[in-house]
Chains A and B, each alone.
Chain A
Amino acid sequence: MSWTSHTLLTLIAQAGENGLRVNHLAEQAGLTRAAVDSAMERLRNRGLIYRAPGAQTGYTLTDAGRGLLAAGKLLKSGPKGGHTGPRASTPGARSRIWNAMRIRIKFTADELAVLANTGPENVRKFLNGLARVDYVRPMARREAPGNPSSNGRVRWALVRDTGPAAPAVNLEKGVVFDHNTGERLAMADPVPEPSRKPRG
């Protein structure tokens, strides 16, 4: 690990659960703000530190950050070994679905499919995975049905927006990897269907 990165990780670890803000880190480390910004960006990109958007608290270590510090491993530049982790967030259909979710906040699977120009099955799988890690929740009231034989579609709400990168949902392995926070989340049991009471 470079001296700067190691120093910053150590200071953040010592700060505990409230974490440290960048200004305080620069002061305590005796570094310029620009040097700290640059190092923090690398640490963020590697999923070693996290700060919730809009949070009043400072940066804290992720599990990966704590693990690295505990192991005393070095953070080196260059290739980082074989790729065994989650796939990088790419500008594909899931990324478009995630963008559409962040724009609409409340939505049906069909609305997302139209906005993201992808198949409804892909949207449903993505929503299913995100619901099982409590990123989205089905709303109590369904969409008003278009005809008498329909119950109306399930409406969903985005309840955890961690940033612009779409979380990677792997239903087979039962995990969601959040590229914004560096968290790997295990899925809970499938979310039950909401009531069949349509909106309005």
Chain B
Amino acid sequence: MKKQFVKTANYERFQAAIRAVDARGAPEAGWLLVAGDPARGKSTIVDQWAVATGAVYLRGKEQWTPHFFLSELAEKLAVDDSGRAKDRFQRVVAKIGHEQTPIVVDEVQHALRDSAAVLEVLRDITDLTESVAVLVAGVENVQKKLERPQFKQIASRIFDRVEFAANSAEDTALACRELAEVELADDLVNEIHRQSAGLMRGIVNALSKVEAHAGRNKLARVGLADMAGKELIADWRSLRRAMGSHQ
């Protein structure tokens, strides 16, 4: 199987939102909230963007406090984290502001404790540096929480929200075309989409099995009939249950 990044509709939506944030009118409103059920490709797409842009990446932690957050940010940036909080903050702002480093906060729900004190620190940083921040919600209802009156200032920094949907049939077909080393007939692609419920993990799993079968039988093109009696995705029923719904 080819190792490459598949530009699904979720990827295109995310990129469009990033372009819109980059072109925003209000410099301080530079946050993008990314949400969606697990296993819809949030991490892969956001991580790929973070790698390409050299963003500083932080994963939210249950124990996060403003001090812990700022120390971790300084550590990731290789900025001296000694001295008073004020000095550390200024060094972090100087580093991020100078390089306009984007910031990614994964599992952002952990930053909502204590009246979102950690997000207040992030707001101070992005207000001063005008850097883009991408907040990835690991659970539902993060946006609803941020819409509460006490978070009005923070919510005003969110320029846009990208909701990751399950991959469509077109996305599955695209993944099959770009990743598989053999040609897949449409009926097999449709079956892979049905069983995987559009989850990339399931699609990749199925392609691996199709390629192994094609290799053993020297097939250049594989259809649904060729895979008769073969399991495409191990325990795909539980995979679909985990998704909750199937489009």
In the complex, A96 Cα to B209 Cα: how many Å?
Answer: 30
Considering only residues 37-65 of chain B, those with a C-beta below 8 Å from chain A are 44, 47-48, 50-52, 54, 56-57
Known: A53-B81, A96-B51, A180-B78. A115 touches B57 (CB 8 A): no
Taking the complex as formed, is B186 at the interface, i.e. its CB lies under 8 A from any CB of chain A?
Answer: no
Q: How many residues of A are in contact with the other chain, CB < 8 A?
A: 34
Asked if residues A163 and B82 are in contact (CB atoms below 8 Å), the reply is no
Identify which of A53, A120, A147, A165 contacts B208 (C-beta below 8 A).
Answer: A147
Identify which of B56, B71, B74, B208 contacts A150 (C-beta below 8 A).
Answer: B208
Residues of B within 8 A of A116 (CB): 51
Taking the complex as formed, is B220 at the interface, i.e. its CB lies under 8 A from any CB of chain A?
Answer: no
Considering only residues 148-200 of chain A, those with a C-beta below 8 Å from chain B are 148-150, 163-165, 180
Identify which of A96, A110, A149, A164 contacts B76 (C-beta below 8 A).
Answer: A164
Known: A53-B78, A54-B71, A58-B82. A96 touches B57 (CB 8 A): no
Query: Binary interface profile of A, 100-113, with partner B (CB < 8 Å = 1, else 0)?
Result: 10111000001001
Residues of A within 8 A of B205 (CB): 146-147
Residues of B within 8 A of A165 (CB): 78
Asked if residues A147 and B212 are in contact (CB atoms below 8 Å), the reply is yes
Taking the complex as formed, is A117 at the interface, i.e. its CB lies under 8 A from any CB of chain B?
Answer: yes
Query: Binary interface profile of B, 192-226, with partner A (CB < 8 Å = 1, else 0)?
Result: 00000000000011001100100000000000000
Residues of B within 8 A of A115 (CB): 5, 44, 47-48, 51
Taking the complex as formed, is B75 at the interface, i.e. its CB lies under 8 A from any CB of chain A?
Answer: yes
B102 to chain A minimum Cβ distance, whole angstroms, is 12
Residues of B within 8 A of A10 (CB): none
Residues of A within 8 A of B3 (CB): 110, 113-114, 120
Taking the complex as formed, is A40 at the interface, i.e. its CB lies under 8 A from any CB of chain B?
Answer: yes
Interface residues on B, range: 20 to 34
Residues of B within 8 A of A96 (CB): 51-52
Taking the complex as formed, is A91 at the interface, i.e. its CB lies under 8 A from any CB of chain B?
Answer: yes
Asked if residues B47 and A100 are in contact (CB atoms below 8 Å), the reply is yes
In the complex, A7 Cα to B204 Cα: how many Å?
Answer: 59
Taking the complex as formed, is B115 at the interface, i.e. its CB lies under 8 A from any CB of chain A?
Answer: no
Query: Binary interface profile of A, 29-55, with partner B (CB < 8 Å = 1, else 0)?
Result: 000010001001000000000010110
Asked if residues A22 and B80 are in contact (CB atoms below 8 Å), the reply is yes
**20 A-B interface contacts by CB (under 8 A):** A21-B83, A22-B80, A22-B83, A40-B80, A53-B74, A53-B75, A53-B78, A58-B82, A91-B54, A99-B51, A100-B51, A104-B47, A114-B48, A147-B208, A147-B209, A163-B78, A164-B54, A164-B76, A164-B77, A165-B78
Residues of B with Cβ closer than 8 Å to A? 3-5, 44, 47-48, 50-52, 54, 56-57, 71, 74-78, 80-83, 87, 91, 104, 204-205, 208-209, 212
Residues of A with Cβ closer than 8 Å to B? 21-23, 33, 37, 40, 51, 53-54, 58, 91, 95-96, 99-100, 102-104, 110, 113-117, 120, 146-150, 163-165, 180
Extra contacts, 5 of them, besides A21-B82, A53-B74, A114-B4 (Cβ < 8 A), are A33-B87, A53-B78, A100-B51, A115-B48, A164-B78
